[in-house]
Amino acid sequence: MSDSRRQLLVDAVRTRFATILVSGGYETNIGAKLFEWRVTELETADLPALNFRDTRNVTEQKLSHIHQHALEFEADVLTAGVSETPKQIRKMIADVVKCIGVDRTWGGIAYDTDPKEDVLGMDQAGLIAGGARIKFVIKYRTRSFNPYSPQ
Amino acid sequence: MTVAARITADLAKFFNTGDFATAVSYTPASAAARSINVQWYEPYEYSAPAEIPFENSGPAVLARTSDVSAAKQRETIVKTAVTYYVIAVHPTGDGTTFLLLSKQ
C-alpha cells in the first residue's frame, strides 16, 4: 500500500531531523530525542527533545489537474535543568533552521520550503525549562484529488 | 476557640520532625546557615515554555514565619545534600510562610 505525498514528507522530515547531532555538524543532539506528534508532557528523561507535527494543510486548485499544497509544520524544542538555558534554546532553533535548509525539496517530494516564525519561552519551577516552537511550511503539488500522486 | 485558632496556637506541633516536619539547612541572605524544621512538599508542576508541556516539579516548604521572617529570593535551603533556591515567598497570614523552591 502506498503512502500519500504528505506522509512521505512527514517521513522525510523525521529522517532529516534525526540527523541533528553534534557528530553531524550541529551544535546540539536534539535529533537523538525525536518525537512525532507527541501529545503527552515531556519528562526530564526525554530532554533535550525535538517534537514535530504536521498541522494545517492549505490546498489551492491550480489549472485543472494540479493541487498545490502548503503544509504547515511545528517543531518544538525543549530542555531543562541546564545552564544558560536561553543560549541552549537559541542553538536548538538554529540547528532546526539549518537542518530544514539542507534540502528545501525534501528529496524532490516538495518544490520548496518557507520559514515562518519561532517563539522562545522560559519557565521556572523545580527546574528552569526553556523551549521554542519553530514553524515552517513545505509546499508541494499533487494531481487534483489524488494525494498519492505527484503532479 | 475555633479549630484554626487552636492550630495557630499549637503551631509547634506541626513542625516536630517526628510528626509532619523535616529539618533543613536554611541560609538567609545576610546571616549564617541554620537548621529549621519545615514541612516539605514536592508536587508535580506543569510548565509550558513556548506552550510546550513539560512535567516539572514544584518543591516548596512550609515554615514558621518566625524562622524565615525576612526570606528573600535566591536564599538557599539544603535538604539531603541538595541545594534549593528560594524563588518566591508567600506568607499565609497564620504564622506560616510558604517558600517556593528551585534547584537552579
pLDDT in the model for residue A151: 80
Higher-confidence residue of B13 and A14: namely A14
Of B42, B54, B57, the CB nearest to A78: B54
Q: Helix, strand or coil for residue B63?
A: strand
Give the largest Cα separation in chain A, rounded.
Answer: 58
Q: Is B45 on the interface with A (CB under 8 A)?
A: yes
Mean pLDDT of B70-95: 96
Q: How many angstroms away from the CA of B38 is the closest CA of chain A?
A: 18
Query: Could A123 and B47 be called an inter-chain contact, meaning their C-beta atoms sit closer than 8 Å?
Result: yes
Q: Is A123 on the interface with B (CB under 8 A)?
A: yes
Higher-confidence residue of A148 and B1: namely A148
Q: How far is CA A32 from CA A14, A20, A52, in A?
A: 11, 8, 13
pLDDT in the model for residue B46: 95
Expressed as residue numbers, the domain containing B77 is 3-102
pLDDT in the model for residue B26: 98
Tens digits of per-residue pLDDT, B8-67?
Answer: 778 888 899 988 899 999 999 989 999 999 999 999 999 999 999 999 999 999 999 999
What are residue B77's DSSP bridge partners?
A: B26, B84
pLDDT in the model for residue A18: 98
- The predicted model scores a pTM of 0.91
Q: Count of domains in chain B?
A: 1
Residue of B56, B83, B98, B101 to mutate, interface with A, max A Cβ within 10 Å: B56
Tens digits of per-residue pLDDT, A46-92?
Answer: 999 999 999 999 999 998 899 999 999 999 999 999 999 999 999 99
Query: Could B52 and A42 be called an inter-chain contact, meaning their C-beta atoms sit closer than 8 Å?
Result: yes
Higher-confidence residue of B1 and A99: namely A99
Check residue A107 and give left, alpha or beta (phi > 0: left; psi -120 to 50: alpha).
left
Query: Could B54 and A123 be called an inter-chain contact, meaning their C-beta atoms sit closer than 8 Å?
Result: yes
CA B40/CA B18 separation, integer angstroms = 13
**pLDDT over 90 at A41, yes or no:** yes
Q: Strand ranges (DSSP E) for chain B? A: 22-27, 34-41, 44-47, 54-57, 60-64, 76-79, 82-91, 96-102
CA A125/CA A127 separation, integer angstroms = 5
Tens digits of per-residue pLDDT, A94-133?
Answer: 999 999 999 999 999 999 999 999 999 999 999 999 999 9
CATH number for the domain spanning B49: value is 2.40.10
Residue-range domains of chain A with CATH: 5-150 (3.30.70.1700)
pLDDT in the model for residue B19: 86
Of B48, B50, B103, the CB nearest to A120: B50
Query: Could A126 and B42 be called an inter-chain contact, meaning their C-beta atoms sit closer than 8 Å?
Result: yes
Q: Say if residues B46 and B35 touch (Cβ distance below 8 Å).
A: no
